[in-house]
Amino acid sequence: MVRSLLVILLSAVVAMTSAWTDQGPGNNWEGRTDHLKDFQVIEFRRYVIKEGARAQFASYFESYFPEAFQQMGAFIFGQLLNRRNPAEFIWIRGFHNMDDRAKLNQDFYSGPLWKEHSLKMNARLIDHTNVLLLKPLNPERGIVVLPAVDPMREKKGAQGIVVAQIFAVKRGDVDTFAQKAEETFAGYRAAGAREAGVLVTLDAPNNFPGLPFRTDGPYLVWLGIFKDNLMLEKSFNPLAERASIALSSTNLLRGAPELIVLDPSSRSRLRWLPEAQIR
């Protein structure tokens, strides 16, 4: 009996040690993200901020809100600053389904956290209606869930560059266009881009009218992450320019593609990470 008791105690110690080793510093330091998946409703939210106030808005936003949404069951993939438009702050949010979108928005915007901070946020915000409601092109092309920024190991904050290429597709031609664009996207990846997702318009009624979204789709959105300006300017930009001309000539688009170059804010999950840190 004593021997059996010792075996049980030893097994418990081994299990506890293994659990700490798997999750502790130096092993899997970025934390588990395997449970953060299946976000089928994605909002690509483009906010216009008052002149000179974007840095403050971004700092307030990422200090108060990402973990709050995550705790509720939604998810913020990243917070991003448009390089070419100093008034634009972009954030990308995911819900598991449309019912969650209605419920969680209701809970959040009627809750104590938003009540405490809404005045300072709204005082810096001009417009919040430029929003695309999207879904993954297919199960393998949803937005990548990267680990949270580690303040101990990423003392400079989020690094790299994020690009969003937005295609206004003619109604009924999304699947055809997506197939034709695959060669282009493969070329981006070959040039060093890390594809972060391919999304298309989700046609659904707005079940939380307080947060409107655009209904002038359909759109297809390609997201990519780049290490630095050299990779962006030398490897990607020439490809993107040629692709814009080639894909526009397919007669499947309603206008020229829009290319948005974005700098991650300091705590944005969407960012460049060393290869070993990405699952």
Domain ranges of the chain: 41-277
Q: Which helix (H) or strand (E) holds 183?
A: helix 174-190
pLDDT at 126 exceeding the cut of 90 = yes
- Compute the distance between CA of residue 263 and CA of residue 225 in angstroms, rounded to an integer: 10
Classify domain 41-277 by CATH number.
Answer: 3.30.70.100
Strand 161-168 to strand 88-95: parallel, antiparallel, or no bridges (unpaired)? unpaired
Collapsing DSSP states into helix, strand and coil, what is residue 196? strand
CB 91 within 8 A of CB 132: no
Range name among 35-39, 110-114, 135-139, 203-207 with the lowest pLDDT average = 35-39
The token pair at 21 is 């080793």
Q: Would you call 102 helix, strand, or coil by DSSP?
A: helix
Q: Name the CA dihedral angle for 29, 34, 36, 41, rounded to a multiple of 10 degrees.
A: 140
pLDDT the model gives residue 277? 62
Are the beta carbons of 78 and 91 closer than 8 angstroms?
yes
When comparing pLDDT for 201 and 276, which is higher? 201
* DSSP strand pairing (258-264 vs 161-168): antiparallel
Residue pointed to by tokens 């995550």 = 70
Say what the pTM is.
0.88
Residue 174's pLDDT is 98
- From CA 254, how far away is CA 68, in angstroms rounded? 38
How does the average pLDDT of the chain come out, rounded? Answer: 90
- For residue 22, CA distances in Å to 31, 44, 147, 211 come to 9, 34, 15, 41
Q: Is the pLDDT of residue 24 over 90?
A: no
| Length of the chain (residues) | 279
The tokens for 31 are 């934390």
**CA 72, CA 110: separation in Å to the nearest integer?**
13
